[in-house]
Amino acid sequence: MITKIIPHPCLDKIIEYYWIEKNGKSSVKVLPDGTTSIIFNLGDPINIYGINGNYKNVSKNIIVGTQKKHYTVDEKNDTYIVGIKFTQGGAYHFFKLPMLKFSNKIINLEDVLNGESEKIRGLLRDAQGVDEVKKVLDYYLLIKADMLSGTNDIVDYAIKSVKADGSPALIKELCLTANISNKHLISLFNKKVGLSPKIIQRLNKFIKVIHTIQSRKEIIWPEVAFECNYYDQAHLINEFKSFSGLSPKNYYDGVVNEGIRVRV
């Protein structure tokens, strides 16, 4: 079971939520959404499959960079995970490093933060309940994150824009408005988000499909394709398979109707 925790209001531009997961043995498919996460593993080691076709046994703390594909987490009998889910581009304000360095990878947090990560892991292990977990993470992130660096640049504007509109012409319009080349915009996105604006645009449309079908009892796929700015139903199916490994119908039947575990 996942418990989501809303961070301090001063952090809402860079963090979507914290989360705690405590389970028995299970498996969960994690879908890509253009964000970076930190995972503190306080329980049994977990296994992660599928990132660049690799397998990783995770016993402590990791960074999961922005992903283009889904991956699978196999959880053990005594799973206890505390996570930080950043917004798109939010992790840049914390790490202050080019986010392309983390894309499609799992990286040991210790390699980036040195002894800090073990200190936070210890505080989280000693925390009693949700409120104390929130207090530990809020305090650390409010000190560590640079909330002002690059917060009003073209990337922030572009991220908000591609969430609101799936038009393929939008990225070109953004470049014209900001008087920069498409190549420069891609470079800025790679630095702050870790993926190109085109990939982020595609992921946002994919996530919109997920939210749309989860909110409805009856699905008419051509209507969903139109509402989520796909050319047609075939385009929707191809994109959905690319990111999730499933057709939209198989996803709906398995996750919505049968309760197969998926996390976005």
pLDDT tens-digit readout, 9-62: 999 989 999 999 887 777 888 899 999 999 999 988 888 887 666 767 777 899
* Structure token pair of residue 199: 């990939």
Full set of structural domains in the chain with CATH: 2-144 (2.60.120.10), 154-263 (1.10.10.60)
Task: Return the closest-CA partner of residue 196 out of 181, 185, 212, 207.
Answer: 185
Q: How many CA atoms lie within 13 A of 258 on its CB side?
A: 9
What number of other Cβ atoms are within 10 A of residue 192's Cβ?
Answer: 24
pLDDT tens-digit readout, 113-151: 888 889 999 999 999 899 999 999 999 999 998 766 655
Mean pLDDT value across the chain: 86
What number of other Cβ atoms are within 10 A of residue 56's Cβ?
Answer: 17
What number of other Cβ atoms are within 10 A of residue 141's Cβ?
Answer: 23
The residues with which 57 forms a beta bridge, in sequence order, are 47
* Bridge pairing between strands 54-58 and 46-51: antiparallel
Average pLDDT over residues 97-108: 92
Place of tokens 């979507």: 16
Backbone angles phi, psi at 22, to 5 degrees: -130, 120
* Structure token pair of residue 156: 């922030």
pLDDT tens-digit readout, 223-234: 999 888 888 999
Cα–Cα distance measured from residue 239 to residue 48, given in angstroms and rounded to the nearest whole number: 23
Q: What local confidence, expressed as pLDDT, does residue 168 receive?
A: 59
Are the C-beta atoms of 51 and 34 separated by less than 8 Å? no
